[in-house]
Amino acid sequence: MNNLSRILTLTFLIFTQNALGQNLIDSSLTETEYLNITEELKVFSDFENVGGAIIYRDDNRTLSLGHLKKDSLHVILLEKINVGKRPTKQMLDTLNFISSSENNWTNLNMCTDIDNPDRKGIFGFYNREKGKDYTNKKYFDNIVFAWQVDLNNSRMELINPDRIKCVNIGYGV
């Protein structure tokens, strides 16, 4: 069995996918506190920690998004931050995204609903052409996968990416 097959099998054993494409986490993982998920949770030891973002809720930084990647498998984590002398995190929710393209990118920055700019907590993966200069493009609008964080329920919900645009953090650089 190749590495990708092993990872996918392991991922599907740990996460059960419902009809919306959202994953329900094994309860033993939600009870586990960690500082560095790729070092402390064996299931993610072969993953690259691509980055993350703090989610502000009423001026309180209690949630974060994490992005792990192994080959074409991306795992987005909604995490609770346990504040203390050594802050730890706990998984609340996950989304899996399998991309066969190296042109799908995310930076976990906020995205905007073009039809409803007041809608908050939107993130997405966007298509990026290799070799193209994006420094003069303020927003990415070719979104292939998007979700919204429901702060009331601490869950991530898949949304239609058609009318979503994401901020280009490299704009003007």
Calculate ∠ Cα 109-115-121, nearest 5°. 30
Which band of pLDDT confidence, cut at 50, 70 and 90, is reported for residue 130?
Answer: confident
The strand ranges marked E within the chain are: 15-17, 22-25, 48-57, 60-70, 73-82, 88-98, 104-105, 111-113, 122-127, 139-140, 143-150, 155-159, 164-167
- What pLDDT digit, counting tens, does each position of 24-78 carry? 456 667 778 888 999 998 889 999 998 888 887 666 668 889 999 898 888 899 9
* DSSP-derived secondary structure letter, 152: T
Which band of pLDDT confidence, cut at 50, 70 and 90, is reported for residue 11?
Answer: very low
Which band of pLDDT confidence, cut at 50, 70 and 90, is reported for residue 19?
Answer: very low
Tokens representing 40?
């402390």
Give the integer Cα–Cα distance in Å for 3 and 56. Answer: 36
Element holding 2 (H helix, E strand): none
More confident residue, 34 or 134: 34
> Phi and psi at residue 139, in whole multiples of 5°?
-130, 145
First and final C-alpha spacing in the chain: 44
Average pLDDT over residues 76-89: 89
- What pLDDT digit, counting tens, does each position of 94-119 carry? 988 887 777 667 667 679 999 999 88
More confident residue, 147 or 24: 147
- Per the prediction, the chain carries an average pLDDT of 78
- What pLDDT digit, counting tens, does each position of 153-173 carry? 889 999 999 999 988 888 876
